[in-house]
Chains A and B, each alone.
Chain A
Amino acid sequence: METDLNSQDRKDLDKFIKFFALKTVQVIVQARLGEKICTRSSSSPTGSDWFNLAIKDIPEVTHEAKKALAGQLPAVGRSMCVEISLKTSEGDSMELEIWCLEMNEKCDKEIKVSYTVYNRLSLLLKSLLAITRVTPAYRLSRKQGHEYVILYRIYFGEVQLNGLGEGFQTVRVGTVGTPVGTITLSCAYRINLAFMSTRQFERTPPIMGIIIDHFVDRPYPSSSPMHPCNYRTAGEDTGVIYPSVEDSQEVCTTSFSTSPPSQYKTRSRQILINSLHSISEPCRYSLGTSDQGWYNLLMVPGKEGGVPLASNQPVHGAQADQERLATCTPSDGTHCAATPSSSEDTETVSNSSEGRASPHDVLETIFVRKVGAFVNKPINQVTLTSLDIPFAMFAPKNLELEDTDPMVNPPDSPQTESPLQGSLHSDGSSGGSSGNTHDDFVMIDFKPAFSKDDILPMDLGTFYREFQNPPQLSSLSIDIGAQSMAEDLDSLPEKLAVHEKNVREFDAFVETLQ
């Protein structure tokens, strides 16, 4: 409904409404970015801050808003809506809230555009800043990341509240009367999620497989230049200078984690895709198997820009079948990472998880041994005949030992178990070699890295062996266990009596904890 508004006032009002709409979208979307917003106050007018508020402009958001508006302004029956939705990493999405900027027919003809309307729009933006932090979606957006992200969509036209589910609630942010109608800003939000709360999403276990890290850089470009606002004090009627705003804004090349879904905003989907590309490599856990059937857990270190690991050690030996897994080290199921040519602290561990190879096959397969730290020799395929003892110069020059070390000179007998297995399951022998070739088990000296022989009666290897084969706990043996159980039961009443006497002490202690 047109009023007696002069053309200048009409132009100004249209401009105010347009930039109010753009700033509204910025405030809403920025409040759902998932982080705290902070802008600086400036005592001197910068000339670029509409409504005297420091609200930064994210170019993509402005672009989307302008695209949605398509040169129109909110009017009766034509509302500008910002839809905030949640999308899980599995692809499910849910609308959380819809912010509506509407215009109705109720006009306030007496109001002054230049002064009152502008100040009230400023107040309304402040209210919007406050309200965007109190709806349930805010807390969800602060916790977005691995399991879900928050998206936005801007559309113009009729408000669509169907996606909010039943029983949604509305909150009115505020209204501003103008000579052409009353501007109303409100929010309709889903409440079902409020009861589910963020706990549901926190309890969701991490997605197995690829975990996507959605943290992206924050784009904060400079806003377009504007002229300072000059106001008249009350009672003066001379003309007022308004800021002239350039519509063009710088395009930001950085990417942005919230973007609208599916068919409406293909460009913004691109923004989401770009944002995914811009993030650092995720922390990725996967089980990989090498060609030879070695099972390894590859770990790619994550968020600090970790480097993907090289693949598992290629092991030569075509003789090794898929099922043939050699036991090489005492440790089970551990992970490791290795780069082929690294001379730093690396380990290659191949673990057996299944299958029991025949000794003969085991012996003929390739042993990939643990290599101690700071070893210069590359950890590549190792054949039985080319094994090197680490720190050979420190190793005792015991020819007998070396001769009986099956890793150097494997025994020919097919019934012989894997030499390391043999050493592991021995009862432990200290010092000296005991290559008793007549027995099934060959006793060898297990040489852990950095160890020296014959200095202490109990060397590292002995300790290691004993550690591997501890005696059974006496309490676990049946007779002793039964006896002690009976004794325990008998002594229970006495113990309870003692505890009851000390009840006060316990209560006092508990109170100090609270």
Chain B
Amino acid sequence: MNCRSEVLEVSVEGRQVEEAMLAVLHTVLLHRSTGKFHYKKEGTYSIGTVGTQDVDCDFIDFTYVRVSSEELDRALRKVDALRNSGGDGLGQMSLEFYQKKKSRWPFSDECIPWEVWTVKVHVVALATEQERQICREKVGEKLCEKIINIVEVMNRHEYLPKMPTQSEVDNVFDTGLRDVQPYLYKISFQITDALGTSVTTTMRRLIKDTLAL
């Protein structure tokens, strides 16, 4: 099975990075989250309700919709790289949806990605307030285009993991949240102006995956 890959590019000012990233992440996760599954007898299950919430950006003339889940929002905001927004640079964020495949001992479960969203962020530094104001509007318009792109991909109705049985639900969904259930995902960053950083990130991820049992 091939992993579906989508790439989005945005140019933002330093203080807009976090909001732009969150807008994209939340829009994708809105489409890739369901209500909590409640399994019953005979293999049936019921699904909880997903609420939504409008979020106004402070540094961009833009409003996006996210899932009403504080836990999910906190988890996304915890990602440190979102805040590393100083100076010029080119960074890349990957949001990867994956399925776990059980392996025999001593091997750890395999994580098989089925959809990867890559957002390339070009951070610019602006000198005057007027430029910033123009940037606010322009970035808002660009993000509107990105949302339309995301929605277009989502509605192609391409591969989605099958709805799992109760025993396998943790291989497909992140069941750790109380109110919603997104597909299993992970977020990684790469800042290309510091090669050392990118290597460290990759090594860290490899070690984490290997040790995870």
A54 at interface, CB cutoff 8 A: yes
Q: Which A-B residue pairs are the 6 nearest by beta carbons? A: A174-B155, A134-B144, A36-B54, A39-B51, A41-B51, A54-B51
A124 at interface, CB cutoff 8 A: yes
Cβ-closest chain A residue relative to B71:
A41
Within 8 A of B (CB), among A109-135: 115, 120, 123-124, 126-127, 129-131, 133-135
B116 at interface, CB cutoff 8 A: no
A53 at interface, CB cutoff 8 A: yes
Question: What sequence of 0s and 1s flags, for each residue 80-115 of chain A, a beta carbon within 8 Å of any chain B beta carbon?
Answer: 000000000000000000000000000000000001
Count chain B CB atoms within 10 A of each CB in A37, A126, A130, A241 and give the residue with the most: A130
**Min CB gap A200→B, angstroms:** 14
* Contact across chains for B151 and A127 when beta carbons are under 8 A apart: yes
17 interchain pairs, CB-CB under 8 A: A41-B48, A42-B179, A43-B179, A44-B36, A44-B38, A45-B47, A52-B35, A52-B48, A130-B30, A134-B147, A171-B148, A172-B152, A174-B155, A231-B44, A233-B44, A233-B45, A234-B162
* Contact across chains for A130 and B49 when beta carbons are under 8 A apart: no
Bound-state Cα–Cα, A38 to B147, Å = 19
Bound-state Cα–Cα, A475 to B179, Å = 75
Bound-state Cα–Cα, A322 to B48, Å = 75
Contact residues in B for A238 (Cβ distance below 8 Å): 42
Contact residues in B for A173 (Cβ distance below 8 Å): 151, 155
Contact residues in B for A172 (Cβ distance below 8 Å): 152, 155
Cβ-closest chain A residue relative to B165:
A233
* Contact across chains for A123 and B154 when beta carbons are under 8 A apart: yes
B76 at interface, CB cutoff 8 A: no
Bound-state Cα–Cα, A45 to B36, Å = 8
Bound-state Cα–Cα, A206 to B31, Å = 42
* Contact across chains for B157 and A120 when beta carbons are under 8 A apart: yes
Point out residues on A near B: beta carbons under 8 Å: 36-46, 49, 52-54, 115, 120, 123-124, 126-127, 129-131, 133-135, 138-139, 142, 171-176, 228-234, 236, 238, 240-241, 514
* Contact across chains for A231 and B163 when beta carbons are under 8 A apart: yes
Bound-state Cα–Cα, A52 to B38, Å = 13
User: How many residues on chain B are close to A (CB under 8 Å)?
Assistant: 50
**Min CB gap A197→B, angstroms:** 8
* Contact across chains for A129 and B47 when beta carbons are under 8 A apart: no
Contact residues in B for A40 (Cβ distance below 8 Å): 51, 68
Cβ-closest chain A residue relative to B152:
A172
Cβ-closest chain B residue relative to A227:
B46
Bound-state Cα–Cα, A126 to B48, Å = 15
**Min CB gap B19→A, angstroms:** 14
**Min CB gap B132→A, angstroms:** 10
Cβ-closest chain B residue relative to A199:
B137
* Contact across chains for A131 and B49 when beta carbons are under 8 A apart: no
Contact residues in A for B69 (Cβ distance below 8 Å): 41
Contact residues in B for A37 (Cβ distance below 8 Å): 52-54
* Contact across chains for B155 and A124 when beta carbons are under 8 A apart: yes
Bound-state Cα–Cα, A172 to B128, Å = 37
* Contact across chains for A54 and B68 when beta carbons are under 8 A apart: yes
**Min CB gap A236→B, angstroms:** 5
B8 at interface, CB cutoff 8 A: no
Bound-state Cα–Cα, A240 to B180, Å = 23
* Contact across chains for B49 and A41 when beta carbons are under 8 A apart: yes
Bound-state Cα–Cα, A54 to B49, Å = 6
Contact residues in A for B150 (Cβ distance below 8 Å): 130
User: Of the candidates B46, B53, B129, B165, which one forms a contact with A39 in the assembled complex, judged by CB atoms under 8 Å apart?
Assistant: B53
Count chain B CB atoms within 10 A of each CB in A43, A45, A172 and give the residue with the most: A43
**Min CB gap A451→B, angstroms:** 50
Contact residues in B for A44 (Cβ distance below 8 Å): 36, 38, 48
B211 at interface, CB cutoff 8 A: no
Within 8 A of A (CB), among B149-175: 150-152, 154-155, 157, 162-165
Cβ-closest chain A residue relative to B128:
A514
Question: Other CB < 8 Å A-B pairs besides A45-B35, A233-B165, A514-B128, 17 of them?
Answer: A37-B52, A39-B68, A41-B51, A42-B179, A43-B36, A43-B179, A45-B49, A115-B163, A127-B154, A133-B63, A134-B144, A142-B63, A174-B155, A228-B46, A233-B164, A236-B42, A238-B42
Bound-state Cα–Cα, A124 to B155, Å = 7
**Min CB gap B194→A, angstroms:** 27
A37-B53, A53-B52 known; A42+B35 contact, CB < 8 A: yes
* Contact across chains for B43 and A130 when beta carbons are under 8 A apart: no
Contact residues in A for B88 (Cβ distance below 8 Å): none
Contact residues in A for B129 (Cβ distance below 8 Å): 514
* Contact across chains for B40 and A53 when beta carbons are under 8 A apart: no
Contact residues in A for B128 (Cβ distance below 8 Å): 514
Bound-state Cα–Cα, A172 to B163, Å = 27
**Min CB gap A119→B, angstroms:** 8
* Contact across chains for A134 and B148 when beta carbons are under 8 A apart: yes
Bound-state Cα–Cα, A131 to B164, Å = 30
* Contact across chains for B49 and A52 when beta carbons are under 8 A apart: yes
A124-B155, A130-B27 known; A229+B51 contact, CB < 8 A: no
B34 at interface, CB cutoff 8 A: yes
**Min CB gap B170→A, angstroms:** 15
* Contact across chains for A174 and B46 when beta carbons are under 8 A apart: no
* Contact across chains for B180 and A41 when beta carbons are under 8 A apart: yes
Bound-state Cα–Cα, A123 to B127, Å = 42
Bound-state Cα–Cα, A228 to B163, Å = 18
Cβ-closest chain A residue relative to B39:
A233
Question: What sequence of 0s and 1s flags, for each residue 169-199 of chain B, a beta carbon within 8 Å of any chain A beta carbon?
Answer: 0000000001110000000000000000000
* Contact across chains for A38 and B148 when beta carbons are under 8 A apart: no
B93 at interface, CB cutoff 8 A: no
A42-B35, A230-B44, A514-B128 known; A133+B54 contact, CB < 8 A: yes
A129-B30, A130-B151 known; A54+B63 contact, CB < 8 A: no
* Contact across chains for B64 and A130 when beta carbons are under 8 A apart: yes
B110 at interface, CB cutoff 8 A: no
Contact residues in B for A43 (Cβ distance below 8 Å): 35-36, 48, 178-180
B109 at interface, CB cutoff 8 A: no
Cβ-closest chain A residue relative to B69:
A41
B6 at interface, CB cutoff 8 A: no
User: Of the candidates A54, A123, A135, A236, which one forms a contact with B155 in the assembled complex, judged by CB atoms under 8 Å apart?
Assistant: A123
